[in-house]
């Protein structure tokens, strides 16, 4: 019986690993000419966050970045953005990874369809911005890797 339960458990583990996927997302640290950061008004509790989108099946991270910035905010990336960091989050997807891109060269020809995009200086980040987001923004703008200690 013990032998049979070990075989069943191994089979279930293999099945679970094969059928479970990882959620991928991209986050954009868009910096304007005045060195301000683009933030999005979050729905809950007057919070703010970096622009973020889920990666579609078969889509590359940088393609997702270009697509969602153009569709949602009419931001056209002029030069190749830098993938700054890949990080995992426990919320909302426990098995998710997010790629943080730094976008310095971009153009916005038309006003965005979504009016919730605002720019803030590094020294004037809004109070509703979560601490991990503020830390990522500062590290990305300063070019410090997240594991570096000040």
**pLDDT score at 150:** 44
Q: Average pLDDT for residues 76-82, to the nearest whole number?
A: 90
Q: What is the pLDDT of residues 37-65, one digit of tens each?
A: 999 887 766 688 899 999 988 898 999 99
CATH number among 3.90.79.10, 3.40.50.10490, 3.50.30.10, 3.30.450.30, domain 22-142: 3.90.79.10
Q: What is the DSSP string of 98-143?
A: EEEEEE-SEE--S--SSTTEEEEEGGG--TTS-HHHHHHHHHHHHT
Report domain extents, the chain.
22-142
């Amino acid at each position: 019986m013990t032998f049979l339960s070990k075989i069943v458990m191994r089979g279930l583990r293999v099945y679970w690993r094969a059928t479970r996927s990882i959620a991928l997302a991209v986050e954009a640290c868009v910096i304007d000419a005045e060195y301000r950061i683009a933030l999005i008004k979050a729905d809950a509790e007057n919070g703010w966050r970096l622009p973020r989108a889920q990666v579609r099946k078969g889509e590359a991270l940088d393609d997702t970045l270009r697509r969602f910035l153009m569709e949602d905010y009419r931001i056209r990336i002029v030069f190749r953005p830098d993938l700054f960091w890949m990080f995992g989050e426990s919320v909302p997807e426990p098995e998710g990874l997010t790629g943080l891109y730094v976008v310095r060269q971009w153009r916005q020809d038309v006003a965005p369809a979504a009016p919730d995009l605002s720019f803030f200086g590094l020294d004037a980040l809004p109070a509703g911005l979560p601490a991990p987001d503020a830390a990522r923004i500062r590290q990305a703008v300063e070019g410090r890797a997240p594991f570096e200690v000040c």
